[in-house]
């Protein structure tokens, strides 16, 4: 036990199932397989009126793919509040009945250490898990904790936490890349999403994805993992691109950029990054494997101060929405693509509709037209700049009057507006 050789280190895709009845659990297992899962995590603690032998036999007899049995107690963040001895007996029963994986908490596994080692030829793989409220609250060294989990004789070890900031996640990646036994390690919540999406790059044993109708804000869907992110294609050489924003879950960027990477055969992945502090973020995510970033609300203006160089157009607009890490020296170069991309798209649409300003005119079809702008933030600033530079009359709407006033003063300063 505890050796890498017994496993293929490719990352499995697992669907966590929390149905409240055995019948629904069987239905959800079949759905998970249909959606592309390699394994399912069956949470026994969610099943109401659970009957250990009867219900386990139904689940395992009807499993369409490998099953991981989890019976999580309240003291470890689960739903079970009953007798602890009965809970452990149920997990042992699942092993006897042929479950593919059985999860024991570190506290329990330490007490059962000898028994786990003695029974490791049963065919079931033993997962020893530890849940940490936050990385910041972890007093002992992570490496020491992982070593303690390994001494239980586990086939697989599992570490789950709630990070308070995205800058804590590289500690998880460091563990994944260096652990000598199969390791499941990730953070829950929206800030921890990239710990799932980048798991395969750093050698994680398993990544979680939810089935349709069972979404979780901090968990990618099975469809997203397989279709949008194509995690099976991710490897140690994959370059990482991220959207820096707060919040970030609404973004459609991954649905646009990841297929584009595949279309041009580029080994890259585009992921959402919930960032709370720009300075901390760039001090931690500074390596060459983080090759570039998109910038969303509310950072398009503030992020200029973290770029080593800024393109003249972005400098003029005073907003950056795209950053590239220059390969030859690692410097961050800021650009603004909001302006030209949006304005030229509008111009092309007007030309197609015949809304031009004269048959042989070389001026923009926006010239003299009323350009109504909803929002005066970083993207709004870029659009206002582009529209005014084409001769449009700009009308600005924003719920924040001061923000609108700042944009007007900015246009005046550039000589694009007179008051």
Q: Which residues are catalytic?
A: 300
Q: What angle do CA 164, 168, 171 make, to 5 degrees?
A: 145
Question: In angstroms, rounded to a whole number, what is the distance separating the alpha carbons of residues 281 and 265?
Answer: 29
Note whether 100 and 125 are within 8 A (CB): yes
Nearest residue to 171 (alpha-carbon basis) of 192, 200, 154 = 192
In the numeric block, which tokens belong to residue 362? 């070389």
Strands 322-325 vs 332-335: parallel, antiparallel or unpaired = antiparallel
Nearest residue to 211 (alpha-carbon basis) of 19, 352, 383, 48 = 19
Instruction: Count CB-CB contacts under 10 A for residue 412.
Output: 12
User: Any idea what DSSP says for residue 225?
Assistant: I
Q: How far apart are the first and last CA of the chain?
A: 77
User: Any idea what DSSP says for residue 267?
Assistant: -
286 contact partners, CB below 8 Å, separation of at least 6: 330
């Amino acid at each position: 036990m505890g050796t890498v050789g017994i496993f293929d280190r490719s990352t499995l895709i697992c669907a966590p199932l929390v149905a409240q009845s055995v019948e629904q659990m069987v239905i959800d297992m079949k759905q998970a397989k249909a959606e592309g899962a390699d394994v399912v995590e069956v949470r026994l603690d969610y099943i109401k009126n659970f009957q250990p032998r009867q219900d386990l036999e139904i689940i395992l007899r009807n499993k369409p793919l490998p099953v991981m049995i989890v019976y999580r107690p309240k003291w470890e963040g689960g739903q079970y509040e009953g007798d602890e001895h009965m809970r452990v007996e149920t997990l042992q029963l699942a092993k006897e009945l042929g479950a593919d994986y059985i999860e024991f908490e570190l506290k329990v596994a330490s007490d059962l250490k000898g028994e786990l080692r003695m029974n490791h030829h049963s065919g079931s793989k033993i997962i020893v898990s530890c849940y940490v409220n936050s990385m910041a609250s972890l007093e002992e060294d992570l490496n020491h904790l992982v070593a303690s989990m390994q001494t239980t004789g586990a086939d697989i070890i599992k570490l789950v936490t709630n990070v308070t900031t995205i800058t804590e996640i590289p500690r998880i990646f460091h563990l994944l890349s260096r652990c000598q036994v199969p390791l499941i390690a990730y953070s829950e919540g929206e800030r921890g999403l990239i710990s799932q999406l980048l798991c395969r790059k750093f050698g994680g044993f398993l990544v979680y994805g939810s089935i349709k109708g069972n979404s979780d804000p901090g968990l990618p869907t099975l469809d997203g993992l397989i279709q949008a992110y194509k995690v099976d294609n991710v490897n140690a050489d994959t370059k990482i691109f991220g959207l820096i924003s707060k919040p970030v879950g609404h973004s459609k960027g991954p649905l646009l950029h990841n297929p584009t990477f595949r279309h041009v055969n580029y080994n890259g992945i585009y992921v959402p990054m919930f960032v709370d502090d720009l300075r901390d973020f760039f001090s931690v995510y500074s390596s060459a494997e983080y090759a570039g970033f998109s910038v969303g609300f509310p950072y398009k203006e503030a992020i200029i101060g973290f770029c080593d160089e800024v393109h003249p157009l972005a400098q003029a607009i005073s907003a950056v929405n795209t950053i590239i890490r220059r390969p030859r020296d690692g410097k961050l170069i800021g650009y603004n693509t909001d302006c030209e991309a949006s304005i030229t798209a509008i111009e092309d649409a007007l030309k197609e509709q015949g809304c031009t300003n004269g048959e042989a005119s070389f001026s923009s079809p926006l010239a003299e037209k009323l350009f109504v702008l909803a929002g005066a933030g970083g993207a709004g600033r870029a659009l206002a700049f582009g529209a005014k530079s084409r001769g449009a009359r700009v009308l600005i709407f924003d719920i924040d009057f001061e923000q609108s006033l700042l944009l007007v003063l900015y246009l005046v300063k550039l000589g694009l507006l007179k008051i």
